[in-house]
């Protein structure tokens, strides 16, 4: 029992917990260890209008342009305006962002017209943000953590959420009641074979919200990051877009720079444009990757500015100061999610959502680089403020603990691997009606197979992955146009007349 239950320990969940702690007891549950979130892995930085000559309106303009007509303007206004005090607050809590001559140092990433991205420890901004929030949280008695705790389902009574069914670290099922529940469970990159996301990002919160009756929107918009290290021996490792912001150049396997052929912003074009250009170059040159060239930049600068990238590439035999680094795109961020209003409230009473799990409308069809940590700070706080108002008498449903049945013999690991391949091939950077229909058929087949009593985390996770994959695929099939991160080879044009609108999905219609 807690007054408030926060699901997820990334930037959005932690910021919400800090806000709520003044109103009651907060329990934060995380599926793995608290630092195994996408926040921890964020390299590039936080986009915020703090540089000289920058203003929230300019940040807003770039965000709207990247979102290709699908951003909610009032949400973006809140993001860029409240983003400034949220970042200043983080600095006052001890976040140590990189400086030059005593002033914040700014870098640039794709689709930003000016240098407005602050960063920490060169390329480990997420770590610094997370550490700062955790330091703050650890000084607050009202906040408790349950790590290795898996959300199985939300408890819904009528139109209200009253808590959650969880599996604790001993594999035991428990019910936790709360006055308000904040879903900040992150994204679903693990649905794809290649992803920058941590292993915990299997979309559980999204599938669970869908089963609970939440509206989900924009599920077809999956952002792929153009540059992840591609070596047979190495894991899929992000190479920050700020590498190109500092002068790194994409080259094909013939050694030719190619981005100016595709966009006036060249290597700093919006992410979706860069991903498709890379795909096109891989196809033209019959290669499985392209390269990132940083050899013209000063070695000392590279080592100081990108210590994490330098060390990781080095570990796998690549020296960024001397070698061309093999890269290719990988699934990175879900623009869609649980639909919320500007106060992070979902269509279910007492249930709130923020961060990557939520869709408040700030990203539209394509998220502007480095807007996600900012979103977590701004809408995490908003979720905390609005959910604190739910404090009060709880409707406590009289629920028996569900029976645990033995699962039938299904090779869950095998289906998971096939699902990741399927999504990569048929619902990835370039899709078409035929590929999406084929994917949907297979997903429906797996969904049927999984209509059996499930009991382990692996089994619940797989069911969630199939649900979210179906939502992505069905929305992508429905949107018969190309916009931002959603590209249909059978409908390559953007069709504002018919499709400048959201696809909202809800269970049962
Ligand atoms: C990066 O550093 O390139 C990732 C930043 C982001 O996804 O916003």
The residue to mutate among 44, 119, 197, 305, having the most atoms of ligand 1 within 8 angstroms of its beta carbon, is 44
Q: What one-character-per-residue DSSP string does 36-70 give? A: -SHHHH--S-EE-TTSTT--HHHHHHHHHHHTTT-
Q: In this structure, what token pair is assigned to residue 174?
A: 């428990």
375 lines ligand 1 (CB under 6 A): no
* C-alpha 29 – ligand 1 centre gap (Å): 26
Residue 508's pLDDT is 86
Cα 180 to chain centroid, rounded: 23
What number does the ligand 1 atom closest to the CA of 123 have? 2
366 lines ligand 1 (CB under 6 A): no
> What is the C-alpha separation between 97 and 118, in angstroms, rounded?
7
Q: What length is written for the chain?
A: 509
108 lines ligand 1 (CB under 6 A): no
> What is the C-alpha separation between 309 and 480, in angstroms, rounded?
39
Antiparallel, parallel or unpaired: β 180-183 and 325-334? unpaired
| Beta carbons of 40 and 334 less than 8 angstroms apart | no
Query: Is 271 among the catalytic positions?
Result: yes
- CB contact set of 110 (below 8 Å; sequence gap of 6+): 226, 241, 244, 265, 268, 269, 270, 271, 274, 369
Q: In this structure, what token pair is assigned to residue 171?
A: 């594999």
pLDDT, averaged per 10 consecutive residues of the chain (509 residues), comes to: 93 98 97 95 96 98 97 98 98 98 96 96 97 96 97 94 96 95 98 97 98 98 98 94 96 97 96 96 97 98 97 97 98 98 98 98 97 98 97 59 64 96 98 98 97 93 98 98 98 98 93
The residue to mutate among 43, 67, 375, having the most atoms of ligand 1 within 8 angstroms of its beta carbon, is 43
Residue 398's pLDDT is 44
Residue 88's pLDDT is 98
The residue to mutate among 48, 109, 250, having the most atoms of ligand 1 within 8 angstroms of its beta carbon, is 109
19 lines ligand 1 (CB under 6 A): no
Cα–Cα–Cα angle for 340, 373, 196, rounded to 5 degrees = 100
Walk me through the domains of the chain, giving residue ranges and CATH numbers.
223-331 (3.90.700.10), 407-505 (1.20.58.100)
* C-alpha 408 – ligand 1 centre gap (Å): 41
What number does the ligand 1 atom closest to the CA of 44 have? 2
136, 244, 271, 382: the active-site residue = 271
Residue 318's pLDDT is 97
């Amino acid at each position: 029992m807690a007054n408030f239950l926060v699901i997820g320990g990334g930037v959005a969940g932690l910021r919400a917990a800090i806000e709520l702690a003044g109103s009651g007891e907060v329990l934060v549950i995380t599926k793995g260890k608290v630092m195994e979130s996408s926040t921890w892995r964020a390299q590039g930085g936080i986009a915020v209008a703090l540089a000289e000559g920058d203003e929230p309106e300019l940040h807003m303009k770039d965000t709207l342009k990247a979102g290709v007509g699908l951003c909610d303007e009032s949400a973006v206004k809140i993001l860029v305006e409240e983003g400034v005090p949220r970042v200043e607050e983080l600095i006052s809590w001890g976040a140590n962002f990189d400086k030059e001559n005593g002033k914040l140092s700014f870098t640039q990433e794709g689709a930003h017209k000016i240098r407005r991205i602050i960063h920490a420890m060169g390329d480990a901004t997420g770590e610094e943000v997370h550490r700062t929030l955790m330091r703050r949280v650890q000084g607050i008695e009202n906040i408790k953590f349950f790590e290795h705790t898996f959300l199985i389902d939300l408890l819904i009574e009528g139109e209200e959420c009253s808590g959650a069914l969880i599996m604790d670290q001993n594999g035991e099922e428990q019910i936790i009641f709360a006055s308000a529940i904040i879903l900040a469970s992150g994204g679903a990159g693990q649905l794809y074979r290649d992803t920058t996301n941590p292993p915990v990002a299997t979309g559980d919160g999204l599938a669970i919200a869908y089963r609970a009756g939440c509206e989900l929107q924009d599920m077809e918009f999956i952002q792929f990051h153009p540059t992840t290290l591609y070596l047979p021996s190495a894991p899929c490792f992000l190479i920050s877009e700020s590498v190109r912001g500092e002068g790194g150049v994409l080259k094909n396997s013939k050694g030719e720079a190619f981005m100016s052929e595709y966009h006036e912003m060249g290597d700093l074009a919006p992410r979706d444009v860069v991903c498709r250009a890379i795909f096109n170059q891989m196809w033209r040159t019959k290669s499985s990757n392209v390269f990132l060239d940083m050899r013209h930049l000063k070695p000392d600068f590279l080592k100081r500015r990108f210590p994490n990238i330098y060390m990781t590439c080095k570990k796998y035999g690549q020296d960024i100061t001397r070698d061309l680094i093999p890269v290719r795109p990988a699934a990175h961020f879900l623009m869609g999610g649980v639909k919320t209003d500007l106060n992070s409230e979902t269509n279910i009473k007492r249930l709130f959502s923020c961060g990557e799990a939520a869709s408040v409308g700030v990203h539209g069809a394509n998220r502007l680089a480095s807007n996600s940590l900012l979103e977590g700070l701004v809408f995490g706080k908003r979720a905390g403020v609005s959910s604190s108002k739910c404090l009060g008498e709880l409707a406590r449903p009289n629920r028996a603990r569900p029976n645990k049945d033995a699962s039938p013999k299904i090779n869950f690991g095998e289906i998971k691997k096939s699902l990741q391949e399927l999504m990569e091939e048929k619902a990835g950077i370039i899709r078409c009606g035929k590929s999406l229909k084929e994917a949907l058929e297979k997903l429906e087949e797996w969904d049927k197979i999984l209509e059996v009593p499930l009991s382990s985390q692996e089994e619940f996770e797989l069911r969630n992955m199939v649900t979210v994959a179906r939502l992505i695929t069905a929305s992508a099939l429905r949107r018969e146009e190309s916009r931002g991160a959603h590209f249909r080879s059978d409908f390559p044009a953007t069709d504002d007349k018919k499709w400048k609108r959201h696809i909202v999905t809800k269970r049962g219609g």
